[in-house]
Amino acid sequence: MMIKTYGGLTYPSELIYNAVQVAESVFRCHQGELAVTINVEHKLNATFNTQFSFDGLPTCHSVMSDTISRYFRLQNSHI
């Protein structure tokens, strides 16, 4: 099996992996109310930010928030 890449990471770092686990937990917790929620992505990101520690990440980079936002958009598109 060949892995297709468009210049992104093939294997996530432990930090990204842990962040996606937290994001999945947030998504599942709020999944039932997403259909009636205004600005779903903002609500999910705000909840994620209260539950995940960004300690040790440089403040000049938005890689983590970009990754998690994309994750929430992908999950939300499957509802």
Reported as a single tens digit per residue, the pLDDT across 38-75 is 889 999 999 999 999 887 777 766 888 888 999 999 89
Number of CB atoms found within 10 A of residue 44's CB: 25
What is the per-residue pLDDT for 5? 62
Q: Position 21: which residue type?
A: Q
pLDDT-derived band at 8 (thresholds 50, 70, 90) equals low
Read off the pTM: 0.78
Nearest to 56 by CA among 9, 16, 8: 16
